[in-house]
């Protein structure tokens, strides 16, 4: 029986890791291929905002799901203290007596192998499978391979491999800037964003793509317009444009859902409704949209609140809340009497624009014989008093 093991901190596991695992699996053709995330790496400290070992295990299951025969193992996570490969080999030898064990590693780890804990023991009972970087000096790899074979009777297999140009350290830095989505499997990236690992900010192109299936065709132009208008307002008023963009993209994510689906979402997320809200389904998408966005994308409280209040408004809104409310009202595809005045005013005085926007909303609802929700009236009275 041949067992191949591929270990690492996988913080996070990226498509380069998956490609390396696929290459090793195709060449070695093991009976069992174990992906083993470390509990506590012996050679480095995990960053403060890293996922827990159990969470990294789940990320690995998502990252390596498409590798035929690969199995993500909890072996090192069950063991306390530093995760030494030699201890893992001990465990596997006891569980699978007589098995051939191959340790898959990259060029850098191979060339530093003599610094590993109990490295001589591992040479006695394991084969080293080295993924040889094409941009590396092959003579150095061959020289060290020959040295281990001559001095330690080692078994070393060199696997030609062109690694993808990425590293977990660089990806973590990119994630904090709203970048790096293309270097991770989609389920891995979605899990990172949903849980806020590494202080990651969602990449806006990815977020737009994820929201698209929730929108009906006629709403796409509106959502695009709200995003652009929110970003312009945010930049004008000194608000974070990325937060404004995220709120703009997500603000109508449940708008296309009918009343029954809206009520089911309220039940799912524990949203307690007033009777007036049950009687007026148009009010529900702001609340369900905020809840679904937090569930899917781990949005901050600021963005949650901006989505939550973008339909009715409320007294004493935050600057981001006002920006999203006004962007929804004045985005470029809006064409109604008074919109140009409101659009211009939103760049001059946010509170006066809120008072005017709420007044226009109340007038429109009254003309159409629609009920006016008390949050809207409370907001209008508050902003009217503020601007007197």
- The pLDDT tens digits along the chain (388 residues) read 999 999 999 999 999 999 999 999 999 999 999 999 988 766 666 777 789 888 999 999 999 999 988 999 999 888 877 888 999 999 999 999 999 999 999 988 999 999 999 999 999 999 999 998 765 567 888 899 999 999 999 999 999 888 888 899 999 999 999 999 999 999 999 999 999 999 999 999 999 999 999 999 889 999 999 999 999 999 999 999 999 999 999 999 999 999 999 999 999 999 998 888 888 888 899 999 999 999 999 999 999 999 999 999 999 999 999 999 999 999 999 998 999 999 999 999 999 999 999 999 999 889 988 888 999 999 999 999 988 7
CATH code of the domain covering residue 336: 1.10.3210.10
125 and 215 in a single domain? The answer is no
270 and 352 in a single domain? The answer is yes
| Domain assignment present for 181 | no
CA distances from 115 to 43, 55, 169, 292 (A): 10, 29, 22, 49
Q: Which two tokens stand for residue 380?
A: 């209008």
| Domain assignment present for 47 | yes
The domain boundary, picked from 116, 145, 166, lies at: 166
Q: Which two tokens stand for residue 201?
A: 């900010």
SS3 13: coil
- The closest alpha carbon to 127, from 4, 8, 38, belongs to 4
279 and 139 in a single domain? The answer is no
211 and 142 in a single domain? The answer is no
Q: Give the span between the Cα atoms of 305 and 30, in whole angstroms.
A: 52
Peptide bond just before 189 cis, omega within 30 deg: no
In contact, 323 and 244? CB cutoff 8 Å? yes
| Domain assignment present for 184 | no
Q: Residue 136's pLDDT is what? A: 59
The beta strand positions in the chain, using DSSP E, are 2-8, 32-37, 70-72, 100-106, 126-133, 155-161
* Interior angle at CA 105, CA 102 and CA 108, nearest 5: 150
142 and 269 in a single domain? The answer is no
Q: Give the span between the Cα atoms of 188 and 168, in whole angstroms.
A: 13
What percent of the chain is modeled with pLDDT above 90?
Answer: 79
Q: Give the span between the Cα atoms of 180 and 178, in whole angstroms.
A: 7
| Domain assignment present for 325 | yes
131 and 72 in a single domain? The answer is yes
99 and 237 in a single domain? The answer is no
Say which residues have a Cβ less than 8 Å from residue 84's Cβ, sequence separation at least 6.
42, 116, 117, 118
> What is the helix, strand, coil percentage profile of the chain, to 5?
55, 10, 35
| Domain assignment present for 305 | yes
The count of structural domains within the chain is 2
Q: Residue 294's pLDDT is what? A: 97
Q: Residue 134's pLDDT is what? A: 65
Domain of residue 330, residue span: 205-386
| Domain assignment present for 211 | yes
Whose tokens are 């008093």? That residue is 385
237 and 339 in a single domain? The answer is yes
Q: Give the span between the Cα atoms of 383 and 217, in whole angstroms.
A: 35
Crossing angle between the packed helical segments 319-330 and 241-250, to the nearest 10 degrees: 50
157 and 232 in a single domain? The answer is no
The domain boundary, picked from 166, 196, 224, lies at: 166
120 and 209 in a single domain? The answer is no
Q: Which two tokens stand for residue 106?
A: 């990259």
330 and 217 in a single domain? The answer is yes
Q: Give the span between the Cα atoms of 247 and 304, in whole angstroms.
A: 8
Question: What order do you get walking across the sheet with 155-161 strand by strand?
Answer: 70-72, 32-37, 2-8, 100-106, 126-133, 155-161
| Domain assignment present for 297 | yes
139 and 223 in a single domain? The answer is no
Q: Tell me the CB-side half-sphere exposure of residue 198, using CA atoms within 13 A.
A: 28
Q: Residue 30's pLDDT is what? A: 96
Q: Give the span between the Cα atoms of 163 and 289, in whole angstroms.
A: 41
The domain boundary, picked from 150, 166, 182, lies at: 166
Whose tokens are 């098995």? That residue is 99
CATH code of the domain covering residue 159: 3.40.50.620
| Domain assignment present for 183 | no
């Amino acid at each position: 029986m041949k067992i191949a093991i591929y270990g690492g901190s996988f913080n996070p596991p990226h498509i380069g890791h998956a490609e390396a695992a696929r290459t090793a699996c195709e060449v070695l053709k093991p009976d069992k291929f174990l992906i083993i995330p470390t509990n506590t790496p012996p050679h480095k400290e995990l960053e403060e905002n890293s996922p827990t070992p159990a969470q990294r295990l789940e990320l690995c299951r998502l990252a390596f799901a498409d590798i035929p025969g690969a199995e993500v193992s909890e072996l090192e996570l069950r063991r306390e203290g530093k995760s030494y490969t030699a201890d893992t080999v001990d465990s596997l030898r006891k569980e699978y007596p007589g098995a051939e064990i191959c340790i898959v590693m990259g060029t850098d780890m191979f060339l530093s192998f003599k610094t590993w804990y109990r490295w001589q023991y591992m040479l006695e009972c394991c084969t080293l499978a080295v993924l040889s970087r094409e941009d590396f000096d092959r003579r150095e790899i061959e020289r060290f391979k020959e040295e281990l074979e001559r001095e330690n009777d080692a078994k070393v297999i060199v696997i030609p491999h062109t690694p993808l140009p990425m590293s977990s350290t660089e990806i973590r830095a990119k994630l904090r800037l709203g970048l790096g989505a293309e270097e991770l499997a989609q389920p891995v990236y979605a899990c990172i964003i949903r849980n806020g690992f590494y202080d990651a900010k969602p990449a806006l192109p990815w977020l737009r793509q994820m929201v698209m299936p929730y929108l009906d065709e006629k709403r796409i132009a509106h959502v695009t317009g709200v995003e652009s208008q929110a970003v312009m307002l945010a930049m004008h008023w000194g608000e974070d444009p990325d937060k404004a963009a995220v709120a703009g993209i997500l603000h109508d994510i449940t708008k296309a859902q009918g009343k029954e689906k809206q009520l089911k979402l309220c039940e799912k997320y524990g949203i307690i409704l007033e009777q007036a809200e049950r009687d007026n389904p148009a009010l529900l998408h702001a609340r369900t949209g905020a809840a679904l966005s937090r569930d899917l994308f781990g949005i901050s409280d600021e963005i949650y609140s901006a989505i939550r209040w973008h339909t009715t408004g409320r007294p004493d809104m935050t600057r981001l809340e006002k920006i999203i409310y006004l962007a929804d009202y004045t985005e470029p595809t809006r064409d109604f009497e008074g919109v140009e005045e409101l659009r211009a005013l939103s760049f001059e005085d946010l509170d006066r624009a809120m008072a005017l926007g709420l007044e226009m909303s109340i007038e429109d609802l009254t003309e159409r014989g629609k009920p006016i929700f008390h949050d809207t009236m409370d907001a209008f009275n508050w902003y009217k008093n503020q601007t007197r």
